[in-house]
Structure 1
Amino acid sequence: MEEQTMRQHLASLGTTERYWFTGIFERYGYRAGAERVEPTILLTSVRLADKQLVATQSWFKLSKGFRDLGELKPGDKLKFSGRVAPYIEDYRSAVTTDFSTSSVNYRIGYPSKIKLVRPLIHRHRPALPIELDALVQQISRWNTHEQV
């Protein structure tokens, strides 16, 4: 299914109801914000009620609900409740920094009731570092395949 069609399907759900979604953990990441670095989590094959594909990939803030699961491994399947949230997607020209076009797009927001439904490996899951700098350093090591 084409990404645009998936986003249209998300939009058709509306923004007031909560829905159940599933997704496959791919990796941790982070993005640099204006004031601080923000840890993130990437889920792939995100489905509505474990059926309809609504996103091939989706980034989320690494909220307490995700952190409470402990260290996830690629392939772990998660289930969570969320709402459809609109956002403005801006495209910048490669030549200038002026906005060339803006459009409303849709994503899954406000994830809660996050559960691990199918761990890839059944084992004890170490907790993620609590301190932000330590967490970002750990994510950086995982993403560059360094050993802890």
Structure 2
Amino acid sequence: MRKQLEKMGKERHQFTGTFDRLGLKMSQGNGRGNHRYTPTICLKNIIDEQGKLVADHLWFNYSSSFLKVGELHPQDRIEFTAIPVEYHKDYHHEKRDMKLGKVSSVHLITHYHPYKPMPLAKTAAVGYVMSINGDEGHGHYSTAYHKWAFAQING
């Protein structure tokens, strides 16, 4: 349990975290074996506005708030606001923990590399994550990302 987050209440706070990696969250589609994916981002060493460590790592949906920052590299520092919220960790909803929700005001605070835009459309963002993680075998996701990337090159 992330006790420090629990103590913060349900107000919006400012946090800073270090980009670690991207992933995918899979949900069951229409019951016919069609899975749907949501891109996710893992930040590590999350600290609050007083500099206190509130979580060693947290996973977030890789939403447009994060995507607008541009392509991220390991060790990039990100500042954002969010609200601590409780969630259930396991399938049976017996274990509870805290996470950060309703993320907004996302800013890159390290600038080690030039800005590179990211696809804001969810399908293309999933394709991007699949591509960098070496898993491009999911047709329409990969196609959406490659169409977006080609448009970036050719204007």
TM-score computed with the length of structure 2 as normaliser:
0.75
In proportion to residue count, which structure has more helix? 2
- For residue 129 of structure 1, what is the amino acid of its counterpart? P
Mapped contact 2:22–2:42 kept (Cα < 8 A):
yes
In proportion to residue count, which structure has more strand? 1
For the residues of structure 1 that align with 2:88 and 2:65, how far apart are their CA atoms? 26
- Indicate the SS of the match to 2:118: coil
Residue 19 of structure 1 corresponds to 13
Matched, 1:76 2:56: no
- For residue 71 of structure 1, what is the amino acid of its counterpart? E
Residue 56 of structure 2 corresponds to 56
Residue 126 of structure 2 corresponds to 136
Residue 8 of structure 1 corresponds to 3
**Alpha-carbon spacing, 1:50–1:138, altered in 2? closer, same or farther (3 Å):** farther
**Percent of counterpart pairs with the same letter?**
31
For the residues of structure 1 that align with 2:40 and 2:118, how far apart are their CA atoms? 13
Aligned length in residues: 131
Cα RMSD (Å): 2.2
Matched, 1:31 2:53: no
**Alpha-carbon spacing, 1:40–1:111, altered in 2? closer, same or farther (3 Å):** same
- Indicate the SS of the match to 1:118: coil
The CA deviation at 1:143 is: 1.9
For the residues of structure 1 that align with 2:75 and 2:135, how far apart are their CA atoms? 17
For the residues of structure 1 that align with 2:119 and 2:12, how far apart are their CA atoms? 30
Mapped contact 2:79–2:108 kept (Cα < 8 A):
yes
